[in-house]
Structure 1
């Protein structure tokens, strides 16, 4: 009973805030998702990443090991996804990137923070940074058929990660007034991302639902298995282990739909993956969390 209550306390704020965004749209209120997303990705999330890295008290060598595990997690998901897509004779441009990249920002960071505290947030922003860099390079190449290196260098999140890593490595700190300002900006990120997630889900129309269910289930099982295996193989501590599994297990990101729409992949099919995997996550992530907390 205590474990169930703990899991509910962790997951309820996340899904309630996403529900606010969902209800907002269904009630007919205006929500300029392009503006809010740009504000979050250009200002709030980079500030959150930079301050979390600069202020973290996590061991640097432990973070380095976690980065390697995070990269390998994405690589293994790419391999599993490639096999499934080839076996099912599916379109690689449409389905592979959504299979690899989860919603490590909008959903993963809040869950990691509520489940594992500030230490969990530190690992979670590292995972987001790894996922973002891979998404802007490998992800773009899969969907658009061209390299995304130049695109990655234009992303504030990438620069915030590099700068935060530098400050962490050198044990530097920004002046107190600047740190406080960046903290305030970064605090916008989590509620803004969750509400925007709910808005985006409310506006999507699921497509090819049967296939979406199968792929979402396969992604969830593969993600948890890969995260668990890597966490055990690298000997990660409980918090790093939990964040790795949790972040890999997050549902398909809304950005996968936006990329599919922009570059001519089957956007309707990707929308189906986003909606179905997110609904599946509502049931599955509390179960995954209960297993992680009970380690």
Structure 2
């Protein structure tokens, strides 16, 4: 519980800093948009590549495949839930709300929690969850938030997320050992992801009307779907699949994480409702203090029941 509260506190402090510097006039809307572009085009590929560095070849092929399958199941369930909800919302809001339901903060929130609760093997499983996340995010999610831009092979392969995967996957599968001259800059750039993303979110929250923040019931419906319905459905399916305990617990933690920061980054980059996106991240992050411990305990109890 304390680990989870600590991670949420870090996120909220960074968001608060972004909020404060915007209110002080030090972080303009144009500046936030430029930082967002930097995050999407430079930091994101480095973050993905960095997730593979130092984690080369530690799972059997069968374990990798199962990790990919259960990760895909998690995102597929969230996607289905998103498609049957928010039908009465305006199109520009519907895109953001559905994106928020589908994509969890599996990296910054999920991986540290997995490491502290499951251990090293759980982190490796978690990296495959993030691989699946990025494939879906930069294909389906990109198409959704970019306004249905025409998808072709070049678009799929040359967007920032997929470029990161195209470099990262060979490093993992071929156990490549890169020199520090390459790995250290990648590591430094990837470390910019969380602080810069949270500053951007805080900046956009600072521009949201407080009454709108409190009264937007769709945001709370989204939070219930992201934090309760999606992980509950996923845990139920895992009881049928019966993966080994480390994989079960680690994937449930990542599936139960709050809304991904990419929701705001994509909304800003592709001119969607960035205010709504900021609200989804802030509200779900706060409420996850309650929901993540519950699902972690349920996953651990499920392991005792199954094994």
TM-score past 0.5 threshold: yes
> Shift of residue 231 of structure 1?
4.1
> Shift of residue 212 of structure 1?
2.2
CA distance in 2, matches of 1:165, 1:44: 17
CA distance in 2, matches of 1:109, 1:69: 16
After TM superposition, the score normalised by the length of structure 2 is: 0.74
**3-state DSSP of counterpart to 1:131:** helix
- The question of whether the paired residues in 2 share the 8 Å contact of 1:136 and 1:151 is answered with no
Report the counterpart of residue 33 of structure 2 in structure 1. Answer: 34
The count of aligned residue pairs is 290
Report the counterpart of residue 152 of structure 1 in structure 2. Answer: 156
Residue 191 of structure 2 corresponds to residue 190 of structure 1: no
Q: Deviations over 1:109-149 (max 9, x none)?
A: 55556665665554444333322321232224445234445
Aligned counterpart for 1:218 among listed residues 222, 225, 230: 225
> Shift of residue 220 of structure 1?
1.8
After TM superposition, the score normalised by the length of structure 1 is: 0.77
Q: Deviations over 1:150-192 (max 9, x none)?
A: 4332223212222221121112211243223333333333333
> Shift of residue 283 of structure 1?
4.2
Residues 266 and 188 of structure 1: CA distance in aligned 2, closer, same or farther (over 3 Å): closer
What root-mean-square deviation, in Å, do the aligned CA atoms of Structure 1 and Structure 2 show?
3.6
In structure 1, runs of 5+ residues without a counterpart are none
CA distance in 2, matches of 1:140, 1:66: 23
Residues 118 and 151 of structure 1: CA distance in aligned 2, closer, same or farther (over 3 Å): farther
Residues 67 and 203 of structure 1: CA distance in aligned 2, closer, same or farther (over 3 Å): farther
Report the counterpart of residue 81 of structure 2 in structure 1. Answer: 80
- The question of whether the paired residues in 2 share the 8 Å contact of 1:44 and 1:186 is answered with yes
Q: Deviations over 1:240-275 (max 9, x none)?
A: 334422332333345445656777876665555444
- The question of whether the paired residues in 1 share the 8 Å contact of 2:134 and 2:162 is answered with yes
Residue 46 of structure 2 corresponds to residue 47 of structure 1: yes
Report the counterpart of residue 183 of structure 2 in structure 1. Answer: 179
Residue 22 of structure 2 corresponds to residue 19 of structure 1: no
CA distance in 2, matches of 1:293, 1:281: 18
CA distance in 2, matches of 1:162, 1:147: 21
Matches within 5 A, 1:93-242: 93-94=94-95, 95-105=97-107, 107-109=109-111, 111-112=113-114, 119-143=121-145, 144-149=147-152, 150-205=154-209, 206=212, 209-242=216-249
- The question of whether the paired residues in 1 share the 8 Å contact of 2:4 and 2:289 is answered with no
- The question of whether the paired residues in 1 share the 8 Å contact of 2:264 and 2:274 is answered with yes
CA distance in 2, matches of 1:71, 1:290: 22
CA distance in 1, matches of 2:39, 2:118: 23
Residues 214 and 79 of structure 1: CA distance in aligned 2, closer, same or farther (over 3 Å): same
Matches within 5 A, 1:245-256: 245-253=252-260, 255-256=262-263
Residues 175 and 254 of structure 1: CA distance in aligned 2, closer, same or farther (over 3 Å): closer
CA distance in 1, matches of 2:267, 2:8: 29
